[in-house]
Structure 1
Amino acid sequence: MSALVIAIDGPAAAGKGTIAKDLASKLDLAYLDTGSLYRAVAHAVILAGGDPADDADAARAAETLDIEAIDQTAIRTREVGTAASLVAAKPQVRAQLLETQRRIAKNPPAGKGGVVMDGRDIGTVVCPDADVKLFVTASDDARAHRRWLELVKSDPELTQAQVLADLTERDRRDSERATSPLVQAADATLLDTTNLSIEAAIQAALDIVGRR
């Protein structure tokens, strides 16, 4: 019996990570935040003194990435987020991480009957045959406010306008890149979380999974 795969895509700060983690917990499935892989590659490039926009630097970091050693706190900074959108546009990086993601989708951790994966190209490229596909989105202002609340704790001088500008630029890069652009899969169900509480968004996602 093949593993159950739930693909959750969408732009940054739309709520897909929170929804994906809760779905995985409630359905006893594994969870993979694919965005953290690109953040980890970007973080590795920065630590090595490289340039996230350089093909060779980005490819080298992707080839040597140790998933088990990812520092989830260190990769959640504004600087790493910006760099992640640069390395994510590199075909070499995407090809390297694509293999990793598909391997996990086909062979989830022991004891798990499937996996919930969130990212930007799960339903279109990584797992086009996923059992359930969701595209989670929200208004620009709502996303900027959520991300600002997350980042201002470590950067008190950061303004919501700056976060909005960062998100707008990242959306542009993600949507316009030649390799695996951010786009809703034709068979994905749209979930707009702009006016939903966390609890309501999670319940809506559970309802979608239940129907599919």
Structure 2
Amino acid sequence: MSQRVCIAIDGPAGAGKSTVAKLVAHRLGLLYIDTGAMYRAVTLKALRRGVDLNDAAALTELARATNIQLIPGVRQTVLLDGEDVTEAIRSPEVTRCVSVVAGVAGVREILVDRQRQMAGETDVIMDGRDIGTVVLPHATAKFFLTASAEERARRRAKEMAEKGYTVDITGLIKEIQERDYRDSHRKVSPLVPAADAVILDSSGMTVDEVVNRIISWLEKNQ
């Protein structure tokens, strides 16, 4: 593959974007950028400070004054103003609130600018909800990874159970469906596949199968 590779992976919550992107990045020697972690970090900070999540101006100012660092590694570390919040940003409370924060135009403008700066410095694979449509519209390759709400809920429940959280699978399915609706109907950068994206439904597929499918496509088309 030639230099200046830029791969976008979009999709709804729980589709396995981060896991797949990390493995593809490792196989191809690319820098992995988890944009969702950036929105989660801002959400965590807002919750800790008691910021009204309906106050767009306050959230925008908070995002502007927040330092978020993504440290590459087998397990990407997320630093929020110097603090390791890699695990904290995955809490159920942050998960419930992040789509509200991510829907604020000012917050997205600030974080998208930072994401583009990172992508301009080296070859990257970036995952999120608007990478191929907004953040990196001229990406080398674009993928839209999805799966049924039930499948995504099972995956998320397994992850959360491993971290010690008790999960109501029925409630989780409903929560995922509601988040899908919010993400796909928000006014700013809604969740939609880019017109030139390769759509992959990972329902019934293993992580390795999805990774191999993406790499095979890249090898044939790049």
TM-score normalised over the length of structure 2: 0.89
Partner of 1:60: 61
Does the 8 A contact of 1:42 with 1:87 survive in 2? Answer: yes
**3-state SS of paired residue (1:170):** helix
**3-state SS of paired residue (2:89):** coil
Partner of 1:111: none
1:117-170, Cα deviation, whole Å (9 max, x unpaired): 000000000000000000000011100100111123445432111111111111
Aligned 1:100-119 pairs, distance under 5 A: 100-108=114-122, 114-119=123-128
Measure the CA separation in 2 of the matches of 1:29 and 1:2.
Answer: 10
Partner of 1:48: 49
1:172-206, Cα deviation, whole Å (9 max, x unpaired): 11000000000000100011110101111111111
Unpaired runs of 5+ residues, structure 1, are: 109-113
Partner of 1:201: 210
| Amino acid of the structure 2 residue aligned with 1:167 | I
Residue of 63, 68, 75 corresponding to 2:89: 75
CA RMSD of aligned residues (A): 1.4
Partner of 1:19: 20
Q: CA deviation at 1:61?
A: 2.1
Does the 8 A contact of 2:11 with 2:145 survive in 1? Answer: yes
Does the 8 A contact of 2:184 with 2:191 survive in 1? Answer: yes
1:94-118, Cα deviation, whole Å (9 max, x unpaired): 101110011011113xxxxx00000
Partner of 1:84: 98
Aligned residues: 207
Does the 8 A contact of 2:160 with 2:166 survive in 1? Answer: no
| Amino acid of the structure 2 residue aligned with 1:205 | I
Question: After the TM superposition, which of the residue ranges 153-162 and 26-35 deviates more from structure 2?
Answer: 153-162
**3-state SS of paired residue (1:173):** helix
| Amino acid of the structure 2 residue aligned with 1:42 | T
Unpaired runs of 5+ residues, structure 2, are: 70-78
Q: CA deviation at 1:2?
A: 6.5
**What is the aligned-residue identity percentage?**
41
TM-score normalised over the length of structure 1: 0.93
Does the 8 A contact of 1:3 with 1:107 survive in 2? Answer: no
**3-state SS of paired residue (1:100):** helix
